[in-house]
Amino acid sequence: MIGVARGSLAVAAKDLRAEMASPAQAMSLFVFALLVVVVFHFAFDLTAAEFTALGPGVLWVAILFTGILALDRGFRVEREGGRIDGLRLAPMPRSALYFGKVLSTWTIMTAVEIVLVPIAAILFNHPLGGWALRLLPVLLLNTLGFAAVGCLFACITTQTRRGDLLLPVLLFPAAVPIALAAVRATGHVLAGRPLDRFAHWLTLSAAYDLIFLAAAVLLFDHALDD
Amino acid sequence: MTAGDGPLLEVRSVSRRFGVVAALDRIDLTLQPGERVLLLGRNGAGKTTLLRLAATLLRPTTGTLRHFGREARGDEGAAVRGRLGYLPHGSLLYDDLSVAGNLRFHAALHGLADVRGRVQRALEETGLSGRAGDPAGTLSRGLQQRLSAARAFLHRPDLLLLDEPFTGLDAPGVLLLQGLLRERLGTAGACLLATHDIPSSWPLVTRVVALAAGRIVLDRKADGLAPADLQALPGAAS
Amino acid sequence: MLQRLPLPLAAIALPLALREAFLAAPAEQKMGVVQRIFYFHVPSAMMAFLGVGLCAVLSALYLWRRDRRYDIAAEAAAELGVLFCTIVLVTGPLWARPVWGVYWTGEVRLTSTLILWLLFVGYLLLRGQAGGDRDATARFAAIVAIVGALDVPIIYKSVEWWRGLHPKVLKISGGGGLDPAMARSLLVCSIAFLLLFAALYVERLRLGRLTEEVASLEQQTARLENAEGSPA
């Protein structure tokens, strides 16, 4: 028998190892995110001046859409070949499976974001600077919230017929607080404002994370096959 | 492996329905230590459902199941799951992970000690040492089956649940699996083996149970039976 | 017996509510006749929340007890929640256009209600698409409902902060609260809508239970047919 921590790490490590074993797949997530940003670049003819105002929205649309793909893939992999059975048979608490998936999704999404943000800035001729580092907590907190609800929903939608359309339909409304908090906080960071101006948004994200991680721990068991 | 503590599996009046269809109807079955049960039945008779119920992957619609004397509910079931080994139709293997990587993941999930040593031995036992670093997806069906077996037995389970384990195995592979089963089960382990391949499984079997339309129609010791007798039974080799 | 009560009561209460809203309530200073939509808009919002909240509670009960009746009740509540939510979203723009000149004011509460609507329409879509295994559908829908309901206050808060202000749409008469005569009309209409909700809910529950009975009878029939066909 193993505990939640070890189980989660084992599951997350497996996901990440599989991801790194086929780098082409990992790259395709990043390319998709970049494409979304590029589409906005052309669709709205954005310039450097507007990056501070509109950049946050563009970035987070790209991130959330990419996140949907990552979530769907993450659980679809387990559906194939009945691999989810192997996970359900592990002598560990069921929540370990949930936390493991959240951890790997969070890591993969953050990895994409860390590369995406500087490249987007360059694309819009926005000078790189210390703001990129200050953006990290915003990225981490909000991505975690998205992954927390996303993993719960993805577990459900990958068991449903034509569930791939259902995931964004369910997840985007549910993740609205995250989207709003992320965009506002990112905007403040880009504009170089001090932390106390937007700390309440970070608090919102953190509260969202806690509430839904806790709720998912209770609910996840019901989302698995029976 | 623990000494016999009483029945390893008790299935009491278990039924399982999927919507309208009753896959299993009031099944009673008990597995004592040392028993090796051959589960026969036509396709659709309920063999896979029974195995999945025994593996705690399904909940019974009615009735109860007990493993090692306890009910495996939710998180308390973790201890039970650690002593079960399940070898299903699907491979449970991750194509992108290496052969050894798949075994290491299984070891991590079970919190096993001496992972390197165990994995190495498992690879040797199943003749896969030469392919240890290859992605599991590149293996042939037969070798994947060997890997699946290695995976199922890695944590030395007391109760083995096998669904068509000989599928895809060549003659050496069959011998390998037979030997592995004998050695792993020893005298105290038990297994429930569903298969149409009677010749391959016969040397191991101590008891025969046959299912038809979700009910048990035969349950007797294997002594005195010959494989030929079984051909006449419902579900043999179809 | 109690079940039969809401329908006739609603039948009486609704015309009364109409009378209240259009005749008895005082005319509003600036907005004119169209303001009277308020007496349907607000109670609808309350009923939408009631439907959503009820659905979440029943969903939690279903997950705890796995009793199919909770599932039927939860689905019924969600449908009514979406229905009244739709009324809110339709009456909102109808009110806004003549008064403020725009269809969508981007007003905080209306935006949040739109998100709520999307969430629970998603819930209904999930139920519609899930296919054969009804137990799985019930479990999945219950999870979505609970997450949705937990999310509602957070959504409202975040949209409020997003807009940066709290437009007090209710303070129409400019003072600290609602004009007492208007408040009374609102109360009458709210009670009428509550009765309407109850009447619709009772009927929808009945429909749900009957559907369930039919399905179970079909199962029994199929089982008997199977039993006859199999070897003894």
- Chain C residue numbers with beta carbons less than 8 Å from the beta carbon of A79 are none
C-alpha B19/C-alpha C215 separation (Å) is 10
Task: Provide the mean pLDDT of chain C.
Answer: 83
Q: How far is CA C88 from CA A182, A187, C85, C92, in A?
A: 28, 32, 5, 6
Is the CB of B133 inside 8 Å of chain C's CB atoms? no
CB B78 within 8 A of CB B70: no
What are the DSSP calls for A74-112, one per residue? Answer: HHHHHHGGGHHHHHHTSSS-HHHHHHHHHHHHHHHHHHH
Question: How far is residue A117's CA from residue A186's CA, in Å, rounded to a whole number?
Answer: 11
Same domain, B135 and B207: no
Do B222 and B176 share a structural domain? yes
- What pLDDT was estimated at residue C31? 64
Residues 6+ positions from C203 with CB-CB distance below 8 Å: C7
CB-closest option in B93, B109, B135 to A90: B109
Task: Write out pLDDT tens, residues A152-203.
Answer: 999 999 988 888 899 999 999 999 999 999 999 999 998 888 888 889 999 9
Q: Which of B20, B21, B234 sits opposite C218 (nearest CB)?
A: B20
Other Cβ atoms within 10 Å of B228 Cβ, number: 9
Please, which pLDDT band fits residue C28 given cuts at 50, 70 and 90? low
Distances from the Cα of B187 to the Cα of B32, B34, B158, angstroms: 11, 5, 10
Number of domains composing chain B: 2
- The percentage of chain A sitting over the pLDDT mark of 90, rounded to a whole number, equals 67
More confident residue, C138 or B224: C138
Residue C98 identity (one-letter amino acid): P
Q: How is A115-166 classified by DSSP, letter by letter?
A: HHHHHHHHHTTPPP-THHHHTHHHHHHHHHHHHHHHHHHHHHHTTSTTHHHH
What is the chain C residue with the closest CA to B234?
C231
Instruction: Please state whether beta strands B21-31 and B9-18 pair in parallel, antiparallel, or not at all (unpaired).
Output: antiparallel
Chains in contact with C via at least 3 Cβ–Cβ pairs below 8 Å? A, B
Number of domains in chain A: 1
- Helix, coil or strand: residue C167: coil
Which pair of tokens denotes residue A130? 């210390």
pLDDT-derived band at C174 (thresholds 50, 70, 90) equals very low
- Mutation site for B-interface testing, chosen from A73, A89, A94 by largest number of B Cβ within 10 Å: A89
CB atoms < 10 A from the CB of C214, how many? 10
Residue B228's domain spans which residues? 1-83+159-238
Strand partners of residue B221: B207
Inform me whether the C-beta atom of residue A21 falls under 8 Å from chain B C-beta atoms. Answer: yes
The answer to whether residue B169 is domain-embedded is yes
- Count of residues in chain C: 232
Q: Could you give the 3-state DSSP secondary structure of residue B83?
A: coil
pLDDT average, residue stretch A128-149: 93
Q: Judge if B78 and B180 occupy the same domain.
A: yes
pLDDT of residue B5: 65
Instruction: Judge whether B41 and B235 are in contact, CB under 8 Å.
Output: yes
CB–CB of B212 and C231 under 8 A?
yes
Greater confidence (A146 vs C172) lies with A146
Q: List the single range of A212-221, B84-93, B218-227 with lowest mean pLDDT.
A: B218-227
Maximum CA extent, chain C: 83
Say which of A162, A211, A219 has its CB closest to residue C129: A162
Domain identity same for B172 and B231: yes
**Measured distance CA(B82)–CA(A1) in Å, rounded:** 6
Does residue C29 carry a pLDDT above 70? no
> Between B215 and B236, where is the model more confident?
B215
Q: Does C126 touch chain A (CB under 8 A)?
A: yes
Residues C139, A222: C-beta atoms closer than 8 Å: yes
Determine whether the interchain pair C63/A177 forms a contact, defined as Cβ–Cβ distance below 8 Å. Answer: no
Percent with pLDDT over 70 in chain C: 83
In whole angstroms, give the CA distance from residue A203 to residue B231. Answer: 70
Cβ distance of A83 and B59 shorter than 8 Å: no
Cβ of C159 within 8 Å of Cβ of A176? The answer is yes
Q: What is the ipTM of this complex?
A: 0.92
Of B165, B17, B142, nearest to B87 by C-alpha is B165
Concatenated DSSP letters of C18-37: HHIIIIISPPPTTTGGGGGG
Per-residue pLDDT band at C173 (split at 50, 70, 90): very low
Buried-exposed string C24-46: b where 16+ CB fall within 10 A, e elsewhere: ebeebeebeeebbbbbbbbbbbb
**Joined tokens for residue B224:** 């005195």
The DSSP string of C62-102 is HHHH--HHHHHHHHHHHHHHHHHHHHHHHHHHHHHHHHHS-
- B60-91 per-position pLDDT tens digit: 888 999 998 888 776 678 888 999 999 998 88
Cα–Cα distances (Å) from B145 to A202, B98, B174, B176, B177, in that order, read 50, 15, 10, 11, 10
φ and ψ of B191, to 5 deg:
-145, 155
The pLDDT of residue C125 is 94
Based on its alpha-carbon atoms, the radius of gyration of chain C, rounded to whole angstroms, reads 21
Contact B46, B199 (CB under 8 A): no
Q: What is the pLDDT confidence band of residue C177, given thresholds at 50, 70 and 90?
A: low
Residue B89 domain-assigned (yes or no): no
Report in angstroms the alpha-carbon separations of B110 from A3, C43, C184, C192. Answer: 10, 56, 66, 60
Q: What is the mean pLDDT of chain A?
A: 91
Q: What is the pLDDT of residue A210?
A: 97
- The string of pLDDT tens digits covering residues B116-148 is 999 999 999 998 999 999 999 999 999 999 999
| pLDDT higher than 60, residue C170 | no
In a domain, residue B40? The reply is yes
C230 with B20: Cβ contact below 8 A: no
Residue B134 sits in the same domain as residue B208: no
Closest CA to A18 of A68, A77, A76: A77
B193 in the same domain as B77: yes
- Residue-range definition of the domain harbouring residue A14: 4-223
Query: What's the Cα-to-Cα distance from C89 to each of B32, C40, C158, rounded to whole Å?
Result: 65, 11, 19
Shortest CA distance from A79: residue in chain B: B92
Residues of C in contact with A173 (CB under 8 A): 115-116, 118-119, 122, 148, 155
* Co-location of B148 and B176 in the same domain: no
Same domain assignment for residues B3 and B78: yes
Does residue B221 share a domain with residue B127? no
Report the amino acid identity of residue C130: A
Q: Judge residue A224's burial from the number of C-beta atoms within 10 Å of its C-beta, 0-12 exposed, 13-18 middle, 19 or more buried.
A: middle
Query: Of residues C2 and A77, which shows the higher confidence score?
Result: A77
What is the DSSP code (8-state) at residue B70?
A: B
Contact check, Cβ <8 Å, B212/C218:
no
- pLDDT value of position C178: 67
- Whole-angstrom distance, CA of residue A102 vs CA of residue B109: 17
Which chain C residues are within 8 Å of A184, Cβ to Cβ?
161-162
Q: Which DSSP state fits B4? A: P
pTM of the model: 0.90
Touching check for B233 and chain C: CB below 8 Å?
Answer: no
